[in-house]
Structure 1
């Protein structure tokens, strides 16, 4: 029976050793390896506890894993901890396994000498590898065992510590191999990402090579184009549909995050995100089902903006080149070293994209590329032709800069009669009938619209009731006064009181009649009439107004008299008004009555040019459709010119006919005339921001 127990114990120990052997050859984390190894060791030796101590590089011992260390009593005495620490240091220095009896060692004169201050038998075995001692495995065993048994404990622990040393060596070699592979990947990434000076090609390289280096599922590069952001490259895809839901939502997410200027790390929780970022994240995650997400703005480095002020934050947002989006689609656990690799990819991406965009922003880059690649132009045979072409180009540039040409501001306009009126309601109410239609001739005083006001009717009803009540009370009071006057025993004070009441009722009656007259005047305003002779020029006026509530100030329709003189009303964008005002001031310095000249054509008669003069320029701008802020300018012209176009302008011309006008703004070099829009764009959008 004893032999069977011994054989069973040996078998269990051999099985345990084999398990540790398998663990030492596996690629698991040190914490997992030492926890499994020490748990098995303590269990096999039926010990009280155990500890794995590892040496930090250039530092003291570090507790890697422990089992029941608190039960040893070391934590209760700082002096005991110092003695125990010196004991571990001695074992590491000697590099040999040993057994230390309870309460042994130390020196009466030196209380901090190396010793075993516990009541347990200490079994110590160093963990050694090809680099020497890496740590110590320590087991706290109960006393009472025979010397042969204690030596058996030591042999077993030495065997386990040797396996731990093999694990440390193998892991270091694996780490070196992984590091070598990482360096090779990094070298390949940096070589490829800095190879091209084309932003799209660089973005494609970042997406594909960056995904390999990071070890994630997908990398997307979003580049900034002016004020907008575009998805430029997605790893593993040569082409993609930019209008697809996933790409569209990803672009919106990158745009939102980039405008905040802050990094986004999403692992499933959005409680700490800004509302606009949270909304964009939820929309994209619901569509793509990604597990883990990082959106990192790519910002040009600027050492002058390192101070964290509000002004510098705004400038840093302007330095955004784009964003890199990193995703884990399946496993939400990041690979080891992923954050460091992401940082490397990000820094190199900023540099490469910054260089590419700076190169692409060179003035006349296509021309310089062509000249750089074309060496044939400078050969002896073609040199005269090249010089002749250069002289021709220089001459053209000189001509563009010196030859004067008419400088005009082009704007849209409308042909309108001078006599026209906008019709407004005189009171709040509801339009119940519009007896006129578009194009119908009306005369002054004709009814244009009939309105009703429930509020006004209620006021009439209330006022009529008050008038009737006042009349009834007046009759009653007057009758009482007459009866009292016929009574010989009348009370003079009572008669005087009734007389005063009649006077008060009379004053009230006059006030009510005045209010009634005012309500009658308001009621008259419910009938909207034409202030002039003319035509209704508002299109579909009945459909627009009937059964519609209106208020004072709402324009109902427009009446124009086409038999009066016509004028041109043009709408100049506010950005062009500077040239108009500048030339007008220049003319009036010589002649205070000078007027700007205008030439225009009608859309219905585009072959005939008409001329006129600027009579009035509005002092304020107003929003006009897609043009944005525009300034209204009134232009007069000879009425005979219209009669050259049509025989009867009053009936043949359309009110509000479209026109295209050019305002004369003097002479300027022909190059400026052709390219002034470009010059102004550069001044306002580029140079102004510098």
Structure 2
């Protein structure tokens, strides 16, 4: 008896432990996938039952099996008599909220009635909380037990059902809380999406706020332009690099999905996709590494044209709201997150519903005729309000005064030109013969006189030719002396005549050799470069430039200028300004010199110097120029007195202004801007 009592106590302790586990499980935050198996297995263990099942009522009050252990196959089959009778039995019990004990093989033969077609005792515990029927827990128990024991099974199951009902209540409260949060987010998204009518701003709102609502990794919005789609917004990015490979691939994918007109839901499989979409999708996935990608064509909602009471825009046709013209695409991507597919699609549809209407409204608003102008005028109406009207009139008056001043106040009109100061007497010294520089006798700024040696060259060929000619001349002279000596002896007339012929021939040869020798010596003298005039060497770094350098005939070696003579001003006027100069010359008539003022580029703070520009010195043709493209060359005659005090270096750069009379100050200040606008827009 003590052994049996001990066994009973152990069994009770085990049951109490199972009950405590079920109570802890009901209070935990376990999911349905975790809670139902653990609950049912512990109840079956505690009751030593053969099996069981958990049934819950859906929104239509139909029971749906949530989990089962060792349930009779006959009651789980579809459209069998046993399953129909069993279904009616448990549906009536669940909807009534009653806990029952149903004997095996019980019930009437009436086809409309329910019953227990199994060989087990059915212990049915109702799941209910706060008057709301949730379903029931069904236990398959052995029927060979006492009635009191069976009622104990039912009481125990009712207690477990109350614990399970608490868990169901907490799950519903959590679901309602999540749903309320979702609707708050959806409401915030809807208000943000419809807040602006600017298309680009709306696209950015849909992309960024849509990503938060869906809980995905990236949302992009592409707008259809012509036959192609262009990505206008990507969540988390302020700017878009349209030339990047990933954006190009996304544009191509959106274009092809929009052309097909059907949504694309990609979860890794591409077998059933058209080849064009499959190619674009694989290309994009290779670069974005997206696991789940949804490309949803955005369609403009269609509207019914109604009467006056419905307004000019008409009423949206809810039954045909998403069969209008495609205006773009919504691209949703999951890279790392793992949202359940059902929730993912529901939230995508929610973003699509509001996003497509917001983008369609923004696009319709932006496409209105002259909308940028109307928007600007609308924003500018504040300047005519009572408070700002005095300020507006003051600003308008100031602007009018400025315009009048620019129109009626005259100002000197000058044409800017660049140039150099050059001595009027200067000589470039050329090489008259090929050679190699062996000695440079002057430096920059060295004073030289006419005929003074400047550079010495060497030409080995000339030295060799001189040596050869001198040798030939000596040989010819020796032979001539020999022929003359032979004529003093007793000779036959014929021999004397022959010697006289040789003598004449040698004299002719000697004369030719002497002329050649004189020419070669003259060439040799040309190896010494001399100054043609008195003056100053103006070439920079003469010795380092010329020493040991091979020289060719006609090459410029250096330049000598006579700084005691007057300077001239060489100017280059950009060809685009020539029209103003020609107009001024024709307007004033005659050939009087034009007035020019200039400053040295080395000292921009100096007072402007005067020069006279003869009209005849202005070139009639344009010359190419590296910086200005084409220039008109001209030569002015500067006043020499200030130049003697300044002693400018030959070739010094100057900045000159050619005076072309007076003109309206507005024209003087802005004529180049006006000409630029005329060049590019007229």
Which structure has the larger Rg over C-alpha atoms? 2
